[in-house]
Amino acid sequence: MTKIGFIRHGSTPWNIEGKAQGWCDIPLNNDGIVDANRLAQRLLSEDWDIIYSSDLLRAHHTANIIAEKMMKTVYLDSRLREIAGGLIEGTTEEERILKWGSGWRELDLKIESDDRVLSRGMTFINEICEKHPNENVLIVSHGSFLKKIIKKLIPNEPFEESLFNTSITLLQRDTFGWNCPLFNCTKHLVLTNKEVT
């Protein structure tokens, strides 16, 4: 049985400001670094074989923090990038409405299509399952991208909640398909500073 842990990267300045990030290479903020360390501490007590990450800085940095504590190598893959935001990258919802109106989602603003996102995402997931049968794989990526992949793999669950920064979602694959025993979990964020160090 293959187990995948989907992790959303730590917080960034643009997360706080409500700006669409897409493929813009935004670094973690201080909270993002602290929270990634808390997640890494939590994962030390679990059994993980390998770590893959988006090549964008915010995900890569989160993965490196985890990998350093676990003494693992991070394998980068551009297919794990966030959905490309086209013309909306770097803008807030308010700015988008001012610029394009409340119906901006219906306009062609060069945002990556669902078909393209799912194509690259599912190609990656299928490769992982072939390369790592019966292993536990961590994947550090981005909120909107991960939600689309999770909903594709488990279409009959609602999963409407946005993924929190440094959350982990577990998916397990067996002969009957995929199931999700843990969704959007951030219990590590209640750890004390003493437990993190």
- Please determine, for residue 194, whether its predicted confidence score (pLDDT) is greater than 50: no
> Which strand (E) or helix (H) includes residue 129?
helix 114-131
Say whether pTM exceeds 0.75: yes
- Give the whole-angstrom CA distance, residue 7 versus residue 30: 18
- Give the whole-angstrom CA distance, residue 157 versus residue 94: 31
**Segment 84-109, tens digit of pLDDT:** 999 999 999 999 999 999 999 999 99
pLDDT band, very low/low/confident/very high, at 191 (cuts 50, 70, 90): low
pLDDT band, very low/low/confident/very high, at 61 (cuts 50, 70, 90): very high
The single residue listed with the structure tokens 């807030």 is: 92
pLDDT band, very low/low/confident/very high, at 178 (cuts 50, 70, 90): very high
- Residues 6+ away with beta carbon under 8 Å from 46: 136
Q: Give the N- to C-terminal CA distance of the chain in Å, as an integer.
A: 33
Residue boundaries of the structural domains of the chain: 2-196
Tokens of 103: 């119906």
| Topology annotation, domain 2-196 | Rossmann fold (3.40.50)
- What residues act catalytically? 9, 142
pLDDT band, very low/low/confident/very high, at 83 (cuts 50, 70, 90): very high
Tokens of 20: 């669409």
